Every structure is written in C-alpha cells, then in structure tokens.
Chain A
Amino acid sequence: MEKEVQEKLESIYRRTIARGDNIITVLQQIQNEFGYVREDAIDWFAKRADIPAAKFYGVVTFYSQFHLSPRGKNIVTVCSGTVCHVKGAPRIIDRLRGDLKLKGEAQTTADMLFTVENVNCVGACSIAPVVIVNDKVYGKQSPDKMAKNLKSYKD
C-alpha cells in the first residue's frame, strides 16, 4: 500500500476509533476519502484496530450507503419512492441504463463516467419523479428530459 494511503488511513483512525467512534463512522470516512470502501483499507483497519475484518464486511454489506467497488465520476441517483414510482421512475431508469449501455447488474459505465443507482426516497415527492446527479436535483423528469439533462455531463 502506498505511503500516502496509509497516512490517510492513520488520520481516519485518529479521528474515529481513537476517539471512541464506531466502525460505521470509520467506513463512512473511508468512503468519503476514497469514493468507495477499499478492501485494503479494511485489512489495514482490521489490523490497526484489532477488529476482525469480517465485522467490517458485515456492516459494509448491510447498509446500502457503502460500496465495495469504485464508482463513476458522476453519480446519477434515481429516486424510487412510491410517488416517483407511480409517476414513471422505472421508465427513466430503463432509458438511462439503455443510453449508457449498462447491462445486467452493472451500475457503472466502462469509461467510469457514470454510475446509475436508485435511492428509496429523497422526500421531494411534490416534484416527482426526481433524479439527482451529483448534488443537483432535477424534478418533474421524463425519460426524454433526463436523457437530455445527462448529456451536459458527458463532456
């Protein structure tokens, strides 16, 4: 492991475990730092904090917030709450996945530009269906509108 990565992990350790924080906080910080939960980071922490790696994996796989593989440059989150669902979110997902040529279970494009995922509900039901790209919220979307909106992220 590179020295730089180790230093970052040591700094996370000092901010979390050393202050009595739990491993959910550790994992949230690892993900904030690297964009996903690196396996070598879990191994490093397991040794450093003397907590079995299995415990980390147990938590990582339980919560939908954590990702074990790198994600795309742009995160496209389609809200799949009840209202978005009845107002056409499934059709938006189909369209975006089709446009980005995502097959099967894949969420991230081969060029690492986009990750398409869904979220249970963002609670912005009055502007359903909602799609969030990175931090920008797009309300009242249709498959066509969203496909157009996504184009601006391709350059």
Chain B
Amino acid sequence: MSSEITVNVCMGTGGIAAGGVQVMKAFERELEEAGVTGARLEKHCKLHKVGCRGFCARDVLVDITAGGASTTYQYVEERMVKRLVQEHIVEGRPVEEWLVGEDYHTFHDHQEKIILADLGKIDPESIDDYLAVGGYEATKKALATMSPAQVIETIKDAGLRGRGGAGFLTGVKWGFCAVCADEQKYIVCNADEGDPGAFMDRSVIEGNPHAVIEGMIIGAYAIGADTGYIYIRAEYPLAVERLKTAIAQAEQKGYLGKNICDSDFGFTLKIKLGAGAFVCGEETALIASIEGDRGMPRAKPPFPANKGLWGKPTIINNVETLATVAPIINKGPQWFASIGTETSKGTKVIALTGKIRNTGLIEIPMGMTLKEIIYDIGGGIEGDRLFKAVQTGGPSGGCIPQQYIDLPVDYEGLHSVGSMMGSGGMVVLDETDCMVSITKFFLQFTKEESCGKCVPCRIGTKRLLEILTRITEGKGEKKDLELLQTLAEDVRDSSLCGLGMSAPNPVISTLKYFRHEYEAHINEKKCPAGVCNALLTFFIRSDNCVGCGMCRRACPVDAVSGEKKKVHDIDQGLCIRCGACFDACKFSAVLKE
C-alpha cells in the first residue's frame, strides 16, 4: 500500500471563482498544522494545482488520494478543509456527507476522453507532470522516425477535421502548406475563442498547455515552419500565464528552440494577445490582427496556407485540433479513426451549458445523440421543466428542436438540421426561454461584432436586429416574417466571410422550427415563454401578497400602490413592464402573463 497522499484542488477559472485559492491555502495551512508533511505520520502530502476536469458546477472539487484509493469531494469551501484534513488524511475516514454523488460518476462515465484525459490529473504548470503521462513522446517519435510527409499522411489517415468550426481536414490543409516552396512559413494556434457560451479552448489551455504546444511543434515540423504564434484572448489571463510558463519550460527542456530533440528541426513560439474582436476568429482577420491592423477579413483565395501572415504560407489551427495531434502520432491513425462516425472521426469537446443540471466541459465520441448528451451526461433539464431546444455553434449556429433529439452529433448531422458544430458550444434552452428573444440576442451580438467591411453583413445584421426588436416589442407585422426570411438568406449568400455567412443561421433555424412563437408575438401580441416584457401584463396575486412593500420600492414609476401588510396593486396604466416588481418579490405574488 502506498503511503503517499495527494490532494488535488480544482483551480481552473471555475474553481478559482468558487474559492479554489482559499481552499488551496487552507490545505497548506491545515496540513502543516496537523503535521502531515512532517515525519510523524510518515506521509508525504503533495498539493497540486490541476486544471478543469469539466464539472465546474460542483466546484471547488477536491480529490484526496490515499493508499491508492481516490476520493472526490464537491462544493468544498475553506471552512471544510480542517475537517477533511483531520478525518480523512489524519484518521483515514473519508467525510461521507461531502463526497460527490452518483451523478458525478454518470457525468463522467458516458464520456470518452482524449483531449481532456489528463485535465484535472496533471499540474498544468509542471512540464514534469506532462512528461510523466507520456508528454513530448509524440514529438520525439515524429522528429526521429517520421518524415514531414509521413506526419501529414498520418493526420490525413486519422481523418482529423478542424475543431474550430468549419471542419476542414487538418492533414489536407497541412499538405497544401507543405508543398509551398517558400522558405519562411508560420503555424498559428487560434485561441481567440469568441463564441459566447464556449470555453473548451480556455479549459484545454488552462489544464494542459503543453498538449497544445506539442501539437504546434509537430505541425510546424510537418509543414516546415520555424515560427509559431498563439493568438489568444486577453480576457483569458490565467490561460495566458500558463502558456507563458509552459513555453519557458519547453524552451528550457529543449522542446522549443534550435535542434529540438537532437534533430535539425528548430521552432520558436510566441504569444499574441487578441484585443477583443469576435471576427478575429476568422483566419484572414486573425492574420491582420497579428500584423497589428484592424482585424478585417479579406476575400479567399488566396488561402492562408498559400499566402498568410506577412504574405507567407501559414497554417491556422484551433486549440483542440492541435491538442489532438500528439495522441494521434502516439497511438496511430487507425486508433483515432476507429472512434466516431463515418465522416467525423474521433471525439469532440463540448461546453454543455444552459438550463441543464450538470453543466460543464465534456468530451464525447462523434456521433453520440443529443439525447444522450443532454439526459445521460447532462442529467436532464434543470428544475424538471420541459426541454425546448438546444443551441449549437454559438451565434453562427442554430436552434435544434425536440423532434431531432435523437440526432447524432457530428459535422454532417448538425448541418442537416440547419445548425453547425461550430467550436462546440451547446446551450440547452427550456420552456421559459423565448426563441425570438434568443435570436435577437445573437443578432445583437453579430451586429456589434460585424467588422463593417462588406455591406450585406454590416447593414443586413442591423436590419435583421431591427425587425426582431420590433417583434419582441409587440410592433411586429405579418409581412415581417417573410422579410426576415429573405433578408437572412441574402445576408447568408452574399457576405464576405464566415461571420456574415453564418450570422443569419439563428434567424433561419428559429423561423423554421419555432415559427409559431414568432406568430404569437406578431398576431396575438403575446410572448408564450413570458420573456418579452413589453408583451406581458404584471399583476399581483392577492393570496400570496404579504404587503412587504418590496415591489412598491422596486417600481421605478410608482405604479405599485398599497399599505404595509396589505395586498398591493399594480396600476396597468402607469406600468412600463420593466419586471422590477417581479424580480423583487420573494413570495411569488407578482405574476406575469
């Protein structure tokens, strides 16, 4: 039996927000106070910082491994640490009441982890941890035993497709660049994760930065690049820090720099901070941004693989794509191609969020159905409300209704119902979500993020938003639906880049599957989900009202009246339908209809 004790504290952004730093400090303090690190107990207690393991909703998660058995605690707070150390570590009795429940295991058991396999197990700030789980073995193997062409063939045979959205075959893309005769080439990691509701790239970098770096080294070797850039959002400070640390460690150990692993191949890696523009996720816009300009896309071809950064052949890959490269080199293309569906191989990391019980980061084999994802892994809809739709692909994707719940999730499957894989965000919506309002939200986003270079996107998204706003305010007319449809199709067909081409997707998919909600807004001037305030009437239910006066004080226009401890009333003539009274009431006495 091993006498070694390991305490793992989840310290991703989710973990830190839930108090991970305080828990970590408490463990340091309590372990020392209990004398665990001393010779008395003859135990060695290691404190690790581990990255996200996916189940952020239960943070802070702590694993205590003692005597070879690992135990996981959920919702750990600073004040609980003293008892954990005393009872579990000193006395050897796990604290039953704080352990994770059955759902923690079902959440993980249905997944298949390649990219996330080591997240939550290794310390992202330690290259030794990465090396201990086979890190940089693929680099050694590729450089010592494979030619660049063989590396490309391997990635092609594996059938790996770009995980950033478009799903283009990575090996084929590398091949385009490899045949360019230019001496100077670049490889760029696109970590400008701009989709609202997506955090896979941040989590992968925070949890296992070396995996991304290793993918870049192998990619650079394959295409013949000597310089790489990681373009990452400035809003991800922790990920940036961990990348800097990882790059410095890799340089020190000789995995970056000249003559990597005693070969002739040399590669340097730099970080470029994005300055907050969604459109920079588009390849040509990203290139403009690295060059220091406004991040505006240009027409393709020429494709960046032929003419990219500073006019040189450039390969741009997404974080997850790059993190998949080393496992493919290590285990072989057949292994990877055996997972997934006919056209979509391997696994996909998904940020599963919204009105669902178990939110978090998951990894599934391609082809798993929406139903399995939402009910088996996600644990079903929060509060037992009714499922309405699942939104995939962020602002560029669509909303998928109940009738397609058995749809297998892969590139083609999602595309066939008018949505897309995108970067892998999945937001579950329930009966209390208004589809017109959600669509308006996405158009608000794309309108603001449109770079303004091409007319269809710049003006089209603005007009689409105006129509949607009109509808949610009860000013919609019957002809608006047809106008929305044709305008959305025009914007899709005539925009310059992916942002404009996909911006109308939310409109087109909700018009197709949730037309009745639009019609209710327009014809009956009602919002069936009770979201669009302008279409609601707020009133007070007399048997629930205790006369506390909270709603009266919250009302900005003094429309609520009533004496203390007596039933209050809302003057419908004065009411501006802001919903402040509804938020303020603690007794469910304010109703909306």
**Which residues of A does B touch, CB under 8 Å?**
22-25, 27-28, 58-59, 62-66, 80-83, 85-86, 91, 94-95, 98, 119-128, 130, 137-139, 142-144
Contacts and interface: CB of A to CB of B under 8 A. Distances in A.
B429 A126 contact: no
Given A58-B294, A65-B275, A121 B196 contact: yes
A85 B391 CA distance: 13
Interface residues of B, number: 55
Interface of B: 13-14, 16-18, 56-57, 59, 193-199, 202-203, 234-236, 273, 275-278, 289, 291-295, 351, 353-355, 359-360, 391, 394, 425, 427, 429, 433, 438, 441-442, 445, 449, 451, 556, 578-580, 583-584
Contacts of A82: 196-197, 353-354, 391, 394, 425, 427, 438, 441-442
A125 B56 CA distance: 9
Contacts of B16: 137
A126 B353 contact: yes
B56 A119 contact: no
A83 B425 CA distance: 10
Contacts of A58: 293-294
A63 B441 CA distance: 20
A147 B528 CA distance: 30
A137 B4 CA distance: 34
A24 B275 contact: yes
A86 B18 contact: no
Nearest to A55: B293
A91 B14 CA distance: 23
Contacts of B354: 82-83, 86, 125
Contacts of B295: 62-63
A137 B360 CA distance: 17
Contacts of B195: 121
B292 A120 contact: no
Given A82-B394, A82-B425, A83-B359, 8 more contacts: A24-B275, A64-B276, A82-B354, A83-B427, A120-B276, A127-B57, A139-B14, A139-B17
B556 A98 contact: yes
A97 B590 CA distance: 23
20 contacts: A23-B292, A24-B275, A63-B295, A65-B275, A66-B275, A81-B196, A81-B197, A83-B196, A83-B197, A86-B438, A94-B580, A120-B194, A121-B197, A124-B17, A125-B353, A126-B14, A126-B360, A127-B14, A137-B16, A142-B583
A26 to B, nearest CB: 9
B276 A65 contact: yes
Contact of A63 (B196, B236, B275, B355): B275
Contacts of A22: 291-292
Given A63-B277, A120-B278, A125-B359, A86 B578 contact: no
Contacts of A123: 13, 193, 198-199, 202-203, 236, 351
A4 B554 CA distance: 49
Given A23-B292, A64-B277, A119-B235, A125 B199 contact: yes
A72 to B, nearest CB: 19
Contacts of B441: 82, 85
A86 B427 contact: yes
Chain A CB within 10 Å, residue with most, of B234, B294, B295, B433: B294
Nearest to A122: B235
Contacts of A23: 292
A123 B195 CA distance: 9
Contacts of A138: 17
Contacts of A128: 353
B235 A62 contact: no
B276 A125 contact: no
A63 B353 CA distance: 27
A125 to B, nearest CB: 4
